[in-house]
Structure 1
């Protein structure tokens, strides 16, 4: 009986490991299906007030968006948001940043990253929309835009992106139904032809 129970426990552990691996695979596939390859991402963040409370308490101070790309073989990127601010914006603003991630095709891309980046908070009002915009050209001397040597570079962006008091303005619709929408636009003009190639042309799969 002891031997049978040991075998049963071993089988249960193997099943748990397989379930975890399957869940991880499903999550990766879902992220792949959501990925954009045109240098833009529209990021929906639901349950924002709870996320802001978690940020205030220090439980979870920031959130990362799904990855997006400047092309099928282009730069891998994401957004990072601090619902209760970061640095000089902590406690008073939403802070929004842009992040370069390590990608499969970095060896084919020009470095440092020099493409113009536009950060946006979408005004959800049906009329008289007033989106929040902040755009910048990367500093070529900053480590944030060098070829990544870890999973992601240091984020760069705007710590004073949107005052928290303005987020709740009745005249604007930045927060509706406890949901905000963030958009990032990366200018893809002038990028190497490699970034627009289908990975099959290079003999490799999608990242």
Structure 2
């Protein structure tokens, strides 16, 4: 048979058609597989992006919680330091010769009670800090778990809120103790008072606007068992000195040992506005008590009627002068105790 004959050509044509059909089927399958692989690849890429985003968010939340825990630790250390200082001060006051026995006992017992309560509460605070530490460690360990990543931070934040509230209570109570101790520490028992008045302009405006007409100094004494006294100042003036002068008054107070003292009060009183420059040109006013005045009789209430100088110092002499620096003035009172036993 002729290889190039009609029969041979028919066979070749049939074989070519079969190969063409098989090739077209294979290419179609490959296209479908390629499409499926691309779809799966995009799906995997989305999953990877979501995992990265979730990991980043968990890391940020972990870092924020760690930062807040560190800040809480520092605040607790500061509170403990203040508490330690206050306890030392209370202990020192118990042996101080400058405070009467009754004042020492009252303030020491009260302060000791407050300090003990704060110590107990600080113990609870330490426990909460430890709980937060464990929670944060757990968060770092199971950060890949969706349930832990969503529920744990809420619990930790609740602990932080509780700690913040407790620290606010501590700050308030410690501030109150600071004020009480400052009064005790600054109390004079030699008949001399130096009174520092800060925020002078604001306080003067408060007096002019009627918000706070006058302010009182801390008490001071002629001796440990002597007369109890204080000063009262009207920064915007009172009576004849209103709106033009500082008015300064001496106040005799009811003391623990009045039954042992002589009345009416007769000691010479020297009032001064201190010059804060090197010149030391203090503005001074001196008076002797009037024995017939009710201001110097034995006090029947906490304070007698104030007596002193309604036109103590003109405002013009104080503003922009050596008597007022950094918005602060100093007033001094000296009681003549030379003739007292």
Shorter-chain-normalised TM-score: which range? 0.7 to 0.9
How big is the alpha-carbon RMSD for the aligned residues of Structure 1 and Structure 2? 2.1
How much has 1:104 moved relative to structure 2?
Answer: 0.1
How much has 1:28 moved relative to structure 2?
Answer: 3.5
Aligned to 2:304: 153
The CA distance in 1 between the partners of 2:211 and 2:276, in whole Å, is 28
Q: When the two structures are aligned, how many residues end up with a matched partner? A: 174
- Helix, strand or coil: the match of 2:281? coil
Aligned to 1:123: 275
The CA distance in 2 between the partners of 1:146 and 1:25, in whole Å, is 34
* Cα distance, 1:26–1:135 mapped onto 2, change above 3 Å: same
C-alpha distance after superposition, 1:161-188 (max 9, x if no partner): 000011125xx41111100000000001
* Cα distance, 1:20–1:147 mapped onto 2, change above 3 Å: farther
- Alignment partner for residue 176 of structure 1, among 325, 330, 333? 325
Aligned to 2:132: none
Q: Which runs of 4+ in 1 moved over 2 A?
A: 19-30
Q: TM-score, normalised by structure 2?
A: 0.48
C-alpha distance after superposition, 1:31-71 (max 9, x if no partner): 12210100001000000000000000000011100000000
* Cα distance, 1:108–1:24 mapped onto 2, change above 3 Å: farther
The CA distance in 2 between the partners of 1:154 and 1:97, in whole Å, is 9
- Alignment partner for residue 55 of structure 1, among 201, 207, 211? 207
Alignment gaps of 5+ in structure 1:
1-18, 193-207
How much has 1:30 moved relative to structure 2?
Answer: 2.8
Alignment gaps of 5+ in structure 2:
1-170
Aligned to 1:143: 294
- Helix, strand or coil: the match of 2:240? helix
Q: TM-score, normalised by structure 1?
A: 0.78
The structure whose Rg is larger is 2
C-alpha distance after superposition, 1:144-202 (max 9, x if no partner): 00000000111111001000011125xx411111000000000011113xxxxxxxxxx
How much has 1:23 moved relative to structure 2?
Answer: 6.6
